[in-house]
Structures are given as C-alpha cells and as structure tokens.
Amino acid sequence: MEARNLIRFLFLTVIVALLLLFTFTNLPYTLPLTNKAEELLDCSTNSRWCTSKNRFFQSNIKQPPKPTTPLHTADVPHHPLDPLTLNELNKVRSILLSHTLFLNSNTYALHSVVLEEPDKSVVLAWNHGEPLPPRKASVIARVNGQAHVFSVELSSGEVNLVDVGEHSGYPTMTIEDMTSSTWAPLGNADFNRSILARGVDLKDLACLPISLGWFGEKEENRRLIKVQCYSMEGTANFYMRPIEGLTVVLDMDTKQVVEIIDKGKNIPIPKAAGTDYRFSAQNSKINLVNPISIEQPKGPSFTIEDDHLVKWANWEFHLKPDPRAGVVISRVKVIDPITREMRNVMYKGFTSELFVPYMDPTDAWYFKTYMDAGEYGFGLQAMPLDPLNDCPRNAYYMDGVFAAGDGTPYVRSNMVCVFESYAGDIGWRHSESPITGLEIREVRPKVTLVVRMAASVANYDYIVDWEFQTDGLIRVKVGLSGILMVKGTSYVNMNQVNQEENLYGTLLSENVIGVIHDHYITFYLDMDIDGPPNSFIKVNIKREETALGESPRRSYLKAVRNTAKTEKDAQVKLKLYDPSEYHIVNPSKRTRVGNPVGYKLVPGGTAASLLDLDDPPQKRGAFTNNQIWVTPYNKSEEWAGGLFTYQSQGEDTLAIWSERDRSIENKDIVMWYTLGFHHVPCQEDFPIMPTVSSSFDLKPVNFYESNPILNIPPNNENDLPVCSASAESSA
C-alpha cells in the first residue's frame, strides 16, 4: 500500500511539474487585478464625465494602448539590434539540429539563443531604410555535456564555433533545468522518507532549485544543484514554511541524488496562518485611498515604431527584451533644443548581473550566494506585468520571444511596459519675492517616460525602471519586493534567545527568521557622449584653506578634475567624506564657452560589500569590490560575473578584466555601476515585503548650452480633463 501511495504521489508531482513548466514557457496568461478596471474612470469610454471648463471630450479622446497577445508569427526585423523573431528562432533550431555535432549527440540543450549583434561600427553606420546587416544568432549550447558557443548565419545556414577560452563555470540554467530539478528528488526513497518524517504530505511539497556557488574541488567537473523544500499546506506562500535543514545535492544532468543532508529534524515547520498574501485570502480589506488613474485625452505622447524603436518628447532609443539581462536599451539619442540635431548619449545599457549573498554560514545556508542573471536568467524570470497595478492604464506592452531548452520559441507576454508618468513633480520653478516688486511665478511640470520590467526570481521580485526626463536625465531605478527567504527556528519569541546567540537575522514570526542578505545590481553603461571617443573624469570636491588675511572665511570647496588614464585610475569606492563627481565627457566636443560636453553619474544605493575578498562568493562577485569601473569597449565583455557564471570560480569577471589596466582616455569606454542594498529583515517584511527602491542618475553636465527645457509650456486648465465619477458608480 505504501509503495502504491508513493507511486501515486510521484505521478501527481510529475504532473504538477509539467504544469509549472507549461506556465513558465507558455503563451500569455492573465493575472487577477487588484485595481479593478471598473473602479478606474476611463475618459476614453466614460467621456461624458470628463470635462474641461465645461467642454466635453468625446470624439477627440484616443484609446490608450491595451495589452495584446500577438502570435508573433509575422514579426520581421527592422533594425540591426532587433531581437531574433519567432521565425528566426525556429530557423536557428532547424539549422543546429542538422549540424553534425547535434546529429551525433545523445543529449543537447540550448542555454541561450539571442541575436549576435553586428559590430558596433556597423550599427553606428546604419541608417533607417537601409538593408540590414546579415542576421546572426549567438547560441550557447551544451552537447554531450560539453559547452559550446556557436555563431549561426541565418541566410546561409553557416555554423561557426566561437572560441571563448577556458571557463570553470557552466552556462545559465534553462527553465527545464530548474523545473526538472525540483521534482527529481522525489525519485529517491530516502528523500521521500525524510519528507514524511517531518510530517509533510508529498502532495503538499514545494521545492526550489538553488544554485550552489563554488566552494572547492568536490563540486567541480559536474553540474550540481541544491534543492530545498517547503510545505504548501494551508497557504500559497510556501516560502514561509521551510523544511529547515533538509538539503538535497542533485546532479543536474543525470537527475541523480548525490547527497541528502538532514540536520533540522528538531525544527518545526512554521504555521501557515497569516502567511497568505493574496487579496482573496485576506479576512479584512482596507481601502486607504480612492482609485487613481492618469488620463490622456489626446493619447500618449510616445510612439513605438517597428516594434522596438521608442520615440518620446526629445528622446529616441531602441528597446528589446533579453533572456539574461531582462531589457536592453540601445542607441539612446536626444534632440538638441538649439540645433534640433539628434545627439548620441548611450550606445547600450542593461542589467549585467545581480549578486545576492546571504549572511548565514551554517550548512543549509552558506552556499546561498546567487547570481540571478548569470545563473537563472534575469529575463527568463520576468513575469507578465499586471495591467493597472504593475503599469498604469496608458502603458504599452512588449512581449519577449525566447528559446526553450530544445530551441523551440515561446512568448513571454507583456514582459515590458512603456508609459508616461506624472506624479506631481516639478521640472523647474521660480517665484519672485514680493520685495522685488516683480509678480513672477513660473513653474513647469515634470512628465517622464518609464520603461519597466519585473522579474520574480523564485521568492524575490525585482522591478527595474529606465526613466527618461525631458531635461536629458536618465534615471535607473531598482525596486525590491516579493517574499523573504526565511529560516525555520524553534524560537517563537525573542525572550527565548540567548543574547550571545547569532540568529543570522531577525525573528519575524513564530519559528521564522528572516536572514540578513545583500543585493548588488551591476549595470553595463556604454556611454557614447556625442560619439564613442570619451574620457572618464573624477571631479574631486576638496576643502581649500584661505590664506591668513585673505578673507573672513577660513575654508571653501573647490573642484579638482582628474582624467583617468587607465582602468585602475577609474576604479571607485564611494566615500562620504571624500566626495567626487564622476563625469563621462567627449574631450573633442565643447560648448560655446569651452567646457567639454558630458554626462555625470549621480550615485545612489551605495551599500558596499563587506565580505572578505578571499571569501569564495566574493571572488565570484568581485565586480562589487568597487561601485564604479570603467573599461575600454570590448564586445566580449558584457557580463560582470563572466560568460559562464554557474559554478564559476571567479576567473572571468569584470574585476579580472580590469586588472589589465588598459588605456581608457579618449577611447570608446564602458562605465559599470553597482547599486547596493544591505537588508536586515524586519517584521514589516512579513509575509511579503513592501517595495524598497534606490536609483542612480545619468545627468547632463555641460552637454547643453543652457537649460534644455526652458521653453516648454506650463500646464493650462483648458488642456486638461476634469473627470468626475459617474452617477452609476457613485450610487
């Protein structure tokens, strides 16, 4: 009977796993709305209730763009940087499967299939309407257990092997790797007995695939993963119900259990009560604010041409989803307010890596030092955005079209949204004091354009915004939300804890500890200020002492400019009491009065890693040793944690590349910036975290001759709809 029940549980678990795989890789699906559409006044459909100075907006109101679910079978590329289309992905798969290496293989998996971007010089020379450069795919595949990088020419079908050198690590996991690893332990009788001994029914089991970093030779020469499990009984938030101390080491290729560590048998599974975060599960519901929506009676001000070219106000840029980076912003240009010419600002920007080390050295936790982009695929973990809640009503949605492990294309629907944002912020203002006798009050509103994606990397959710302002500023913001990764404990109150005992975190609820951890998000920023030859200048703010009798003042500040000659000159650890500005300038282009044109990085989210530099996780995450790096442009150097990050030893990182100390003065250069967060969990983070955000700015510095938004108009009452609730909705 026990064997029959076990078979039944195994069969059920496989079915659940297949359904999860379907969810991860299937076509678009919808999510429940929290902001109910019927509660938001839509001036496009309720136009009789939207007036401006008693005039009705009706026929002139344009419908805002709605989320769509296109099949993408008719997509064609229009730009050299357009991602591979669904048809192109199918063609790549067909070409590879007919290749000798694949024909003679027993096993293969495609870990990455993306556009092989043309050389930068080719893209810069290309003009709209011209024929596209030859379309190529860059493919990372494992064939018979060996990793290869291929260049596939789509028109000719030619396949070339790319030499990327020796690497200790493995490619990014496929969705199939992750999904199959979660149910593979169920084929092991010892594991099943361990679960049942903890009082958990196999049907209530939820398991997570956890990358194990690298901690020595015993983990080399095979792809390993660790699996830890939770109880789903009584809650959708199984993350709050860990089966503490039970860890399975799994061979990811054979799906065989290598080792079972079970050291937490005396730790109870936390209760389910109070853990469910779903709106439908709340016993009491509170409406703190009335529904809010921004209406645009003339429609949005932005356009998206040929699926990927975004034009808004004075900005133009190329936008595409990416399975590893999430979103890639390219060919960023802005219109000069005087000459009206398009000026280059940035060639390419994206999230290069996310390093998340947990601060618990015990057996079940020491290895939790994630590289979310290189190990899991930041874009692969992007979920469909929820209209009205993730993005406002006026948003445009963009799908990602990616390749599964067997090369079959699938659609990640509504992965990216683009929308205009107005939060009552001010672009510029001045009111004259009455003592001058001048009655002046000039104010301009600040409206911005936001490109947003959200990735749910298991328990954690990341929201990444690229925000463009009309004054030329680009703000990159990261929001952290989702659910903490917690540790089970026997404690239910802090009065039980010995003062000398280290919990490695905070007791959040009965039997639940939120473990201290860090988040580091490293961005790749290929700045091209009026063209590729740029320089990095550190403008150090120094205190200067006045000479005796020179002034009533004893000290003042001055700016000391130092141009970085080589990479090591540009490595920056931020210091509060040794402040600097960080400029990227074009030394060959100057303003009317002689200043080099440029942009400056305005840091934010400045938490720095405190780990020992020789700690294995920090060796792999050595790109966080500095907050700022500058390297010469190299097409092969894009991923701060290395091309093959999984189980890597840290020999192919930004820190290693930069040790070459190459020349960067008046060169085509790339700036790297790391946003950092220290997270000491608190009870307000239970059972789901309110979003915490930080950002950095790329701000014009002598790029313009004067304020670029001096001549924009203020808001006028006649231009804005005044909406009131309908009689039906207020009844």
- Tell me the mean pLDDT in the region 484-504: 96
Given the residues 82, 262, 372, 471, the one annotated as active site = 372
| Spatial contact of 400 and 668, defined as CB atoms under 8 Å apart | no
Give the three-state DSSP class for 597. Answer: strand
Strand partners, 551: none
Domain ranges of the chain: 303-701
Given the residues 410, 460, 673, 704, the one annotated as active site = 460
- H helices within 461-615, ranges in order? none
CA separation for the pair 146, 126 (Å, rounded): 37
CA separation for the pair 95, 116 (Å, rounded): 16
pLDDT at 669 over 90: yes
Q: What is the pLDDT of residue 295?
A: 82
pLDDT at 724 over 80: no
pLDDT at 150 over 60: yes
pLDDT at 725 over 70: no
- Tell me the mean pLDDT in the region 363-386: 97
Question: What mean pLDDT, rounded, does the chain reach?
Answer: 90
Q: What is the pLDDT of residue 512?
A: 98
pLDDT at 413 over 80: yes
Report the range of poorest mean pLDDT among 387-396, 432-441, 647-656.
Answer: 432-441
Secondary structure letter of residue 613 according to DSSP: T
CA separation for the pair 630, 668 (Å, rounded): 10
Q: What is the pLDDT of residue 499?
A: 87
Residue 433 CB-half CA count within 13 A: 2
Give the three-state DSSP class for 455. Answer: strand
Tell which residue, 445, 442, 448, has the closest CA to residue 472: 448
Q: What is the pLDDT of residues 231-284, one digit of tens each?
A: 999 999 999 999 999 999 999 999 999 999 999 999 999 999 999 999 999 999
Tell which residue, 644, 653, 649, 600, has the closest CA to residue 626: 653
Which tokens in the block code for residue 552? 């009533």
Q: What is the pLDDT of residues 83-120, one digit of tens each?
A: 999 999 999 999 999 999 999 998 999 999 999 999 99
Of the pLDDT bands very low, low, confident and very high (cuts 50, 70, 90), residue 9 is: very low
Identity of the residue numbered 113: V
390 catalytic residue (yes or no): no
Of the pLDDT bands very low, low, confident and very high (cuts 50, 70, 90), residue 731 is: very low
372 catalytic residue (yes or no): yes
| Spatial contact of 667 and 534, defined as CB atoms under 8 Å apart | yes
b/e burial code for range 428-466 (CB count within 10 A of at least 16 → b): eeeeeeeeeeeeeeeebbbbbbbbbbbbebbbbbbbbbb
* SS3 sequence of 354-411: EEEEECCCCCCCCCCEEEHHHHHCCCCCECCCCECCCECCCCEEEEEEEECCCCCEEE
- Tell me the mean pLDDT in the region 211-229: 94
* Sheet-wide strand order for 722-723: 55-56, 50-52, 722-723
CA separation for the pair 169, 174 (Å, rounded): 15
303-701 adopts what CATH topology?
A: Beta-galactosidase; Chain A, domain 5 (2.70.98)
Q: How many Cβ atoms from other residues are within 10 Å of residue 314's Cβ?
A: 21
Strand partners, 151: 138, 160
pLDDT at 10 over 70: no
Secondary structure letter of residue 88 according to DSSP: H
Q: What is the pLDDT of residue 299?
A: 86
| Spatial contact of 40 and 287, defined as CB atoms under 8 Å apart | no
Q: How many Cβ atoms from other residues are within 10 Å of residue 415's Cβ?
A: 26
CA separation for the pair 465, 693 (Å, rounded): 10
Which tokens in the block code for residue 461? 């959710």
Q: What is the pLDDT of residues 368-378, one digit of tens each?
A: 999 999 999 99
pLDDT at 454 over 50: yes
CA separation for the pair 623, 370 (Å, rounded): 14
Q: What is the pLDDT of residue 41?
A: 40
